[in-house]
Amino acid sequence: MDVRPRLIEMSARPRLTLFDLDNTLLSGDSDVLWCNFLVQRGVLDSTSFSARNADMDERYRAGTVSTQVFSEFYVSMLRGRAPEDWESLRQDFLVNEIIHRVPFVAQALVQHHINAGDLVVMTTATNRFITELTARHLKIENLIATEPELIDGKFTGRTQDTLNMRDGKVVRLHAWLAARGETLTDYASTAYSDSINDLPLLQAVDTPIVVDPDRRLSAWASEHGHLSLSLR
């Protein structure tokens, strides 16, 4: 079903379109895929790590893990190395683990909004270093993501600034717009997400659209009459 004609709001305001990444545009979770990739490449030990990775993913989906614990668990994988030390693995990860997991219909939807002149933003709880190549692949110029800390040119394994997760996505969005001299009310805003973790963001915009939603988000969308679609 082609839903795209339904998604253009006739408004005098410019349009702002926000896309979550993991399990929305991407069939999978970048953090989980990255860690599994590092296990496969021998960078992480599968015996000690795989179960922890699966547990963190389950707790995230359930909305029971704190934003700090979740974010620093995954950012800690980068600890002790400079960005350039990771670059060949990061490029390999994009090509072999990410690109084929972005459905064609998801790419087409993003391109539709870009072609329509929307201000398109990817907003993700996953850290910037892992997701910026994905945004670039999708031709999304604006990325709001969790920021990994760098000291003396190396990742510390910690995060910095407000985490881009749950309420933090709204805080970071307002800050990003303020840096442009704008506010959310300047735009006719739309957000796409699959997860109950993004409920604050979906409630903050004019048009929330749930994408292959989890059970609780699906129930919320049904209760409030919001559009639900599948990009799988």
Tell me the per-residue pLDDT of 63-85, one tens digit each, with 9 for 90 and over: 787 878 888 888 988 999 999 99
Phi and psi torsions of 135, nearest 5°: -60, -45
Residue 56: which pLDDT band, with cuts at 50, 70 and 90?
confident
CATH H superfamily, domain 4-229: HAD superfamily/HAD-like (3.40.50.1000)
| Number of Cβ atoms within 10 Å of the Cβ of 40 | 12
Q: Would you please indicate which residues are annotated as catalytic (active-site) residues?
A: 20, 22
| Number of Cβ atoms within 10 Å of the Cβ of 13 | 12
Residue type, 201: L
Range ranked top by mean pLDDT from 31-35, 57-61, 134-138: 134-138
| Number of Cβ atoms within 10 Å of the Cβ of 42 | 8
Residue 102: which pLDDT band, with cuts at 50, 70 and 90?
very high
Q: Token pair for residue 124?
A: 């993700």
Compute the Cα dihedral for 181, 186, 192, 198 and give only its sign: positive
Determine if the pTM surpasses 0.85.
yes
Mean pLDDT over residues 167-190, rounded? 98
DSSP designation for 183? -
Question: Greatest CA span in the chain, whole angstroms?
Answer: 56
Tell me the per-residue pLDDT of 124-140, one tens digit each, with 9 for 90 and over: 999 999 999 999 999 99
Packed helices 83-93 and 30-40: angle between N→C axes, nearest 10 degrees: 100
